Structure 1
Amino acid sequence: MRAVVQRVKNASVKVDGELIGEIGRGIMLLLAVNVDDEDKDFNYIFSKILNLRIFDDEKGLMNKSLKDEGLELLVVSQFTLYGDGRKGNRPSYIKAAKAEKATYYYEKFIEEAKKEGIKTDHGKFGANMEVSLINDGPVTILLDSSKDF
């Protein structure tokens, strides 16, 4: 599983001009599922994102997590995170999971975040989305459950 974590002041997602997801301060998450992902990959990424200390404490140090601060989460599916552009000019997406598996983990992520008490909104799986955000910092972290980077 691969994720781009962005600390935001606010973020939103539209489909066909209609606002379908919106958060205030928190994390805007781009999430991709790998063809080989299993529950252990999900658990790793899920735990990392909720507990990643990227928010400032009272001393201005990044020592607080989304969960610590009770902040919001916007989850957007993005299979192109597995785009491999090393050969030629057209990226290959063979490492991206097919829709059935990817949808399962995407929806599971949203459901589990809500169970944790995180105010969670989301995009629409498979749709052409317009994503807007104000990156705070900017702070952008890349995560990969296979620890490729």
Structure 2
Amino acid sequence: MEMLRAAAGKTGRPVRKKGRRPRKMKTRYDGRPDRSYRDPGQFSDLVQREIKRNGWGRNFAAGSLRSAWPEIVGENIGRHTSVVMYNEKKRQLHVESDSTAWATNLRLMQSAILTTIAKRIGPDVVAELKIYGPKAPSWRHGPLHVKGRGPRDTYG
């Protein structure tokens, strides 16, 4: 390598590295870079264009809402609640909680949660929250059963 540097010093030209020559970007007549149709664009531009073209905006927003739920409501509440379903026609978000106490707290915070969702995700995505407590276990075993007084609220 030292010999090459010494030889380059004598000729006055720099030694070229192995590999392909660097390509110059093609320019138009006015000097602007030529963005050919063959040049690859960004993948995110393609995804955004397809979402808009197919009308998937609300569904995509609802999916991002499900993944960002702990950040929207807070880490502690996010551990005890989860998004179950999104009804696109009615713009309802169905949320299930670990206990009836968490469900009651969410109902009290409903307006604050809706404004946070409108700021972070979009104003026309969620219009209403449906909040449910935990599901009681089923005591039915087999095809025959007797109608009783119901499961009560002893599981949350």
Higher Cα radius of gyration: 2
In which range does the TM-score fall when normalised by the shorter chain?
Answer: under 0.3
Please give the TM-score of this superposition, normalised by the length of structure 2: 0.23
More strand by share: 1
Higher relative contact order (CA 8 A, sep 6+): 1
Please give the TM-score of this superposition, normalised by the length of structure 1: 0.24
More helix by share: 2
